C-alpha cells in the first residue's frame, strides 16, 4: 500500500513539474510576453472593457470618476445631482438621432394680398439612427396661424429609393398652442445607416415683420443658414443663443442677406433668431 501511494505521489509530482517547466518555458518566450502585454494594454490603457459594459454600469463608472470634490460638497451638498444630470445627458446620446450637413435656404417675400411677410424655406440634412432606429420627424406651427404650411417632405435612402410624403394624409395634433405633424420614417429607414431628409415649408409672420428661427432639437454636426429678402423686406437684427462663439454670422451691407455657418457640433437648445421686416 505504501509503495502504491509513493508511486502515485511521484506520478503526480512528475506531471506538476512537467507543467511548471512548460509554463516557465512559455514565460520566457517573446510571443507569450507580447500576448500578455497586449491583453494588459487592451484592458488598462485601451479601456476596451468599458465597451462591453451595460449603460447602467458605464453610468456608475462615470459617477465614480466625475464627481465633486469635498470642497464643492461642503459648499453645496446637492451639487452631486448636477454632475449626475450631465452624466445622464451624455449617456442618452445613443438613444438620439443625430444629423449632419444641415442646410437651410430661406427666401423672404411680401404677400401684398394678405399684407403679411412670409418665408419659403428648404431644410435639408442627413439623419443617422439611434440604437433604437429612426425617430419620427415632427413639424409644427402656431395653431392661430392658418396660412403657414408644409409644402413637401422628401426622404431619400442610400440605395436610391425616395419617399415623397403625402402632406394631405398627415394628421394634425394640437397641443400647447402648437399644431404638430408627425411623420414616421422607421419602416422606410430600417436597415439603412442614414437617410437624407428635405423639407419645404411656408411660414407667415405678423403683418409687416417675421421672426426667422432655428433651434437644434437634435445633436447636429455642422450647420449653414442663408436668408435672402426680396421686395422691400430687409434684415433688421439677428442673434445667436447658446454657444454663440462657434457661429459665424454675416449680414450684407444692403441688409438683404444673412449667412450663418457653424462647422462644429451643435447641441440641443442651440440656435438663432433673425427678425426681418418691410422697409419703411
Residue-wise pLDDT tens digits, 58-101: 777 777 777 778 887 778 888 888 878 777 777 777 788 999 99
Asked whether the CA dihedral 109, 121, 165, 184 is positive or negative, the reply is negative
Lowest mean pLDDT among 8-22, 108-122, 138-152, 168-182: 8-22
10 Å CB burial of residue 85 (0-12, 13-18, 19+) is exposed
Phi-psi region of 154 (alpha: psi -120 to 50; beta: other; left: phi over 0): beta
pLDDT of residue 43: 54
- pLDDT score recorded for residue 76: 81
Four-way CATH pick for 98-278: 2.60.40.3140, 3.40.50.1820, 3.30.360.10, 3.20.20.70: 2.60.40.3140
Counting Cβ atoms within 10 Å, is residue 189 exposed (0-12), middle (13-18) or buried (19+)?
A: buried
* Cβ neighbour number for residue 196 with a 10 Å cutoff: 15
18 versus 243: the higher-pLDDT residue is: 243
The sign of the CA dihedral 183, 186, 188, 194 is positive
Instruction: Identify the pLDDT of residue 122.
Output: 97
pLDDT at 206 (0 to 100): 82
pLDDT band at 35 (very low <50, low <70, confident <90, very high): low
pLDDT class for 265, splitting at 50, 70, 90? confident
Report which listed range, 43-47, 93-97, 130-134, 194-198, is most confident: 194-198
Secondary structure element (H or E) that encloses residue 199, with its range: strand 195-204
Alpha-carbon distance 276 to 209, whole Å? Answer: 6
The larger pLDDT score, comparing residue 97 to residue 21, is at 97
What average pLDDT is seen over the chain?
81
- The domains of the chain are located at 2-86, 98-278
Cα separation of 97 and 95, whole Å? 7
Sheet with 98-111, strands from edge to edge, namely 162-164, 149-156, 195-204, 116-128, 98-111, 220-229, 257-266, 248-251
Amino acid at each position: 500500500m505504501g509503495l502504491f501511494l509513493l508511486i502515485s505521489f511521484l506520478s503526480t509530482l512528475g506531471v506538476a513539474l512537467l507543467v511548471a517547466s512548460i509554463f516557465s518555458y512559455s514565460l520566457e518566450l517573446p510571443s507569450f510576453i507580447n500576448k500578455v502585454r497586449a491583453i494588459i494594454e487592451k484592458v488598462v490603457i485601451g479601456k476596451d472593457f468599458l465597451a462591453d459594459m451595460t449603460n447602467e454600469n458605464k453610468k456608475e463608472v462615470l459617477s465614480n470618476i466625475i464627481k465633486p470634490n469635498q470642497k464643492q460638497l461642503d459648499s453645496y451638498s446637492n451639487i452631486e445631482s448636477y454632475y449626475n444630470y450631465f452624466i445622464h445627458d451624455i449617456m442618452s446620446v445613443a438613444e438620439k438621432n443625430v444629423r449632419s450637413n444641415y442646410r437651410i435656404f430661406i427666401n423672404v417675400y411680401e404677400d401684398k394680398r394678405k399684407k403679411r411677410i412670409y418665408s419659403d424655406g428648404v431644410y435639408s440634412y442627413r439623419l443617422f439612427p439611434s440604437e433604437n432606429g429612426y425617430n419620427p420627424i415632427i413639424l409644427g406651427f402656431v395653431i392661430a396661424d392658418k396660412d403657414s404650411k408644409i409644402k413637401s417632405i422628401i426622404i431619400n435612402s442610400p440605395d436610391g429609393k425616395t419617399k415623397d410624403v403625402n402632406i394631405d394624409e398627415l394628421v394634425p395634433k394640437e397641443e400647447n398652442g402648437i399644431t404638430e405633424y408627425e411623420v414616421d420614417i422607421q419602416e422606410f429607414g430600417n436597415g439603412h445607416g442614414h437617410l437624407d431628409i428635405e423639407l419645404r415649408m411656408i411660414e407667415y409672420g405678423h403683418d409687416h415683420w417675421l421672426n426667422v428661427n432655428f433651434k437644434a432639437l437634435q445633436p447636429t454636426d455642422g450647420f449653414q443658414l442663408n436668408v435672402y429678402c426680396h421686395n422691400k423686406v430687409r434684415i433688421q437684427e439677428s442673434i445667436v443663443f447658446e454657444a454663440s462663439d462657434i457661429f459665424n454670422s454675416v449680414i450684407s451691407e444692403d441688409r438683404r442677406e444673412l449667412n450663418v455657418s457653424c462647422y462644429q457640433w451643435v447641441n440641443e437648445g442651440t440656435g438663432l433668431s433673425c427678425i426681418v421686416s418691410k422697409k419703411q
